[in-house]
Amino acid sequence: MKTVYSEKHKLRNAKTELYGGELVEPFERPSRAESILQAVQLADLGPIEKPLEHGLEPVLKVHDADFVDFLQSAWNDWQAAGFAGEAMATNWPARRMQQKPPCFIEGRIGYYALAAETSITAGTWEAALASKNVGLTAASLVAGGEPAAFALCRPPGHHAARDMFGGYCFLNNAAISAQYFRDMGSDRVAVLDIDFHHGNGTQDIFYARDDVLFCSLHGDPEEAFPNFLGYADEKGRGVGAGFNVNYPLAPGTLFGEWRVALADALARIHSFAPEAVVVSLGVDTFENDPISFFKLKTDDYFTTGQLIAGVGLPTLFVMEGGYDIDEVGVNTVNVLAGFEN
């Protein structure tokens, strides 16, 4: 299996994250991707390729143009306002407030942010562009006939909605890639999100569509980020009704129960009969992950890859979360190796 990777992810190197009432070193940091890359190399998984430039057109197929403009200019606007620290949201258009972006950067960040933990820094936009190029280059390999490819994306993307960033995500790599498959001729595409956290951004983008099936296994939003989306009664809207399937799972979920949900999602994908599957690959379901509460073990990820392979469809793996730096690489590679086994 080919892996697509860009060193430009290192341009995203935030120093602060709001967590538990403190500013801490971000859980989403450059060493995550470096650990995964090292594991891919040690496992001799296959060739590692650099991404090709794909421009902004694929981004604008799924993201609001004004939102993209905001991401491009946010850091420069923040600096121009005289702020010394990293750019963070401090207020939002909450209930009964007007839903329009202010001119001043502090208000604009709040308008486009879905949470406060994710700061914008120098290099964030460039890293996000490189990450979507990683996803699209890997997608082009699958569209060109490869049975599978791994997009080692960083920053991740599945929390990025049509017009919001947060959860460490700025551009939705999985959604951009899914739309790419559609544009390349696939009538139907499935997105399977196995990250611990609900893929709220991907759901937001495809919620009213019947050409992209979205299935997400995740921590119950009653107990876990993003809290306000990911419930089982969210099934799609309009022609998209029935094409959004959420599996919220309780704290302490073991692989046996998680696997039942995965089997149901895979059965739905099989019935949907897509021409391609995009897997939002998060391994923060791991028992030692610092910001999650599932209890999957390292060997479970190999089995997960085998189960996904059983659907027998061209598959793009897009890297999302996983914050146990010591184990994120081996757990990720286990999924990919299991798929190829």
Q: Among all residues, which ones are annotated catalytic?
A: 159
- Give backbone dihedrals phi and psi of 184, rounded to 5 degrees, phi first: -90, 5
Q: Whole-angstrom Cα distance, residue 22 to residue 238?
A: 42
Structure tokens at 65: 């143009």
Burial of 152 (0-12, 13-18, 19+ CB in 10 A): buried
Cis ω on the peptide bond leading into residue 290 (within 30° of 0)? no
- Among all chains, which residue has been given the structure tokens 């798929």? 339
- The full length of the chain comes to 341
Amino acid type, 86: E
CA distance to 229, 236, 237, 241, 243, per residue, from 233 (Å): 10, 9, 11, 11, 12
List, as one string, the DSSP characters of 219-232. E-TTTSTT-SS--T
